[in-house]
């Protein structure tokens, strides 16, 4: 167990965790959203972010503080908490973003970490190299080596009680991300930002974002708190948490508001396109779109930023509740229908079902079959694994409904798509207590057929008869030839 992070309830690779931040004297419950506060621009004051939105942690940029004389002096004099007016935990970025944008910055990892410690940051960040997507492998490897030197430098700095980020880079090479995750995890640093994913998110490359996260997670231990750096759109919180991310940071709430953009869990709207405010927050119940459009710029920006924060924090609570209820993937199912690229992201997540399965609890709430994608959920894989461990003898009927007449069997197992076969004794166990639609689909039937195949292959001495309710060829082709098949009408 890492010193400052404790994992509690889990669902898929998502979890409720507790990040202790000793310097701030607070424990932050994750998944957590860290609003980004620009030290020069306060759309909403940090104290209001704390009191009205319940933020326990925020993030600001120590490089901006460092390079602005006035801010630097005040921060060194009274400390960052006083400067911002915030009592919770403050994470400071290092200027790596500026490095990536402008090619050069004038601080080293040692200098910026010492400065962060001096101004009272609770979590500091070394100067890593945020390698963008799609670069050559050589460049990704070379820059990763620089990032790894920065982590090594960071270990040698006396940072006192301040926690330190260990960013994971590697561009769009999942194996490099895995390597980077492994070496970051091997340091004595504390929090693990997956870096340089913003370009992927900005161009809706959610599938690749998931592959990058999955790679990083393979390298990191399960007890590592993971920050998806730059991820602030509530549309993807559920997906990213299900992939194992714990911390998000939102500059979007303020930047989007400046541009009259309105966040929702299904995407982004522009205020000028809205005839209605599709949200239940205090801003949206007290105003109409016309009303907001007519407000002075500053007030409109502040109200939109408040809406954006309300919707973002509500989604974080929804994600946490889903983890507690054991239906996080059901929430992801819904969010995956926000945009075709989010569907790609969910499909990519399910490509990693076996990786998720290793963290997913064995028993949760009720499994809901909600789409063809549900057939690939980790719970289905685990069930197939589990039934291969049983040893039925003689002749076993596997049936979706009725029992074909005139035959006798040593055992009759139920078959329920997408799970496949199981003895009745398991009926009341998760996920078999799940709910499936009356109108099933081929994906469920094919997954059930794969379950049949697994059981049959694991029991070469046993005879099997499969009574199915009109499965298509794509399902029946997965059933081994030695299984006798019969058509029955589903008895449900």
User: What are the residues binding a copy of itself (CB under 8 A)?
Assistant: 52-54, 207, 266, 269, 273-282, 284-285, 310-311, 313-314, 317-318, 320-322, 324-325, 330-331, 333-341, 343-344, 347-348, 368-373, 435-439, 441-443, 472, 474
CB–CB of 193/167 below 8 Å? yes
Between helix 174-186 and helix 137-156 the angle, nearest 10°, is 10
Backbone angles phi, psi at 427, to 5 degrees: -55, -35
3-state DSSP assignment of residue 398: strand
Q: Parallel, antiparallel, or unpaired: how do β-strands 420-422 and 463-468 relate?
A: unpaired
Q: How many CA atoms lie within 13 A of 380 on its CB side?
A: 29
Q: What is the smallest separation between the CB atom of 315 and a copy of itself, expressed in angstroms?
A: 8
Q: How many CA atoms lie within 13 A of 183 on its CB side?
A: 19
How many CB atoms are closer than 10 A to CB 405?
5
Q: What is the smallest separation between the CB atom of 197 and a copy of itself, expressed in angstroms?
A: 17
Catalytic residue among 3, 82, 87, 93: 93
Please say which residue, 58 or 370, places its beta carbon nearer to a copy of itself. Answer: 370
Cα–Cα distance for residue pair 76/108, rounded to 1 Å: 18
Please say which residue, 425 or 473, places its beta carbon nearer to a copy of itself. Answer: 473
Q: What is the smallest separation between the CB atom of 74 and a copy of itself, expressed in angstroms?
A: 32
| Per-residue DSSP letter, 150 | H
Q: What is the smallest separation between the CB atom of 245 and a copy of itself, expressed in angstroms?
A: 18
Please say which residue, 146 or 280, places its beta carbon nearer to a copy of itself. Answer: 280
Please say which residue, 146 or 474, places its beta carbon nearer to a copy of itself. Answer: 474
CA angle, residues 106, 109, 114, in degrees to nearest 5 = 100
CA pseudo-torsion sign 9, 14, 16, 22: positive
Please say which residue, 156 or 474, places its beta carbon nearer to a copy of itself. Answer: 474
> CA of 277: how far to CAs of 200, 267, 284, 287, 339, in Å?
29, 14, 6, 8, 20
93 is catalytic: yes
Q: What is the smallest separation between the CB atom of 84 and a copy of itself, expressed in angstroms?
A: 22
Write out the catalytic residue numbers.
Answer: 93
């Amino acid at each position: 167990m890492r010193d400052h992070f404790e994992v509690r309830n889990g669902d898929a690779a998502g979890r409720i965790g507790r990040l202790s931040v000793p310097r701030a004297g607070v424990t932050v419950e994750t998944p957590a959203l860290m609003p980004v506060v620009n030290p020069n621009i306060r759309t909403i004051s940090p104290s209001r972010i704390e009191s009205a939105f319940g933020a326990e942690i925020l993030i600001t940029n120590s490089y901006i503080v460092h390079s602005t004389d006035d801010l630097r002096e005040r921060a060194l004099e009274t400390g960052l908490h006083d400067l911002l007016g915030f009592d919770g935990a403050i994470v400071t970025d290092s200027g790596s973003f500026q490095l990536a944008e402008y090619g050069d910055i004038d601080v080293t990892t040692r200098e910026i970490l010492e400065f962060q410690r001096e101004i009272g940051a609770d979590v500091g960040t070394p100067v890593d190299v945020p390698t963008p997507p799609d670069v050559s492998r050589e460049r990704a490897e070379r820059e990763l080596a620089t990032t790894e030197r920065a982590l090594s430098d960071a270990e040698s700095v006396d940072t006192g009680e301040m926690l330190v980020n260990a960013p994971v880079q590697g561009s769009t090479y999942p194996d490099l991300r895995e390597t980077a995750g492994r070496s970051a995890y091997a340091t004595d640093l504390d929090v693990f930002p997956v870096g340089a994913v913003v370009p992927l998110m900005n161009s809706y490359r959610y599938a690749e974002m998931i592959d990058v996260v999955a790679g990083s997670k393979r390298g990191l231990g399960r007890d590592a708190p993971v920050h998806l750096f730059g991820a602030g759109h509530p549309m993807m919180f559920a997906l990213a948490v299900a992939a194992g991310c714990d911390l998000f940071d939102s500059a979007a709430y303020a930047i989007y508001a400046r541009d009259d953009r309105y966040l929702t869990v299904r995407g982004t709207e522009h205020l000028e396109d809205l005839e209605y405010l599709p949200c239940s927050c205090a801003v949206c119940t007290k105003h109409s779109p016309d009303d907001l459009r007519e407000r002075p710029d500053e007030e409109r920006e502040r109200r939109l930023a408040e809406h954006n924060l309300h919707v973002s924090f509500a989604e974080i609570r929804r994600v946490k509740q889903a983890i507690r209820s054991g239906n996080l993937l059901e929430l992801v199912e819904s969010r995956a229908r926000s945009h075709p690229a989010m569907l790609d992201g969910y499909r990519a997540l399910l490509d990693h079902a076996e990786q998720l399965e290793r963290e997913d609890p064995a028993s949760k709430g009720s499994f809901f079959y909600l789409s063809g994608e549900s057939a690939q959920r980790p719970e289905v894989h685990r069930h197939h694994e589990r039934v291969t461990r049983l040893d039925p003898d003689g002749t076993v009927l596997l049936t979706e409904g009725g029992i074909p007449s005139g035959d006798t069997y040593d055992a009759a197992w139920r078959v329920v798509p997408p799970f496949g076969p199981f003895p009745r004794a398991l009926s009341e166990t998760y996920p078999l207590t799940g709910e499936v639609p009356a109108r099933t689909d081929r994906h469920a039937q094919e997954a059930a057929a794969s379950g049949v195949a697994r059981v049959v292959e694991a029991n070469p001495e046993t005879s099997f008869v499969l009574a199915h309710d009109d499965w298509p060829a794509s399902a029946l082709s997965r059933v081994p030839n030695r299984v006798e098949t019969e058509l029955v009408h589903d008895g449900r």
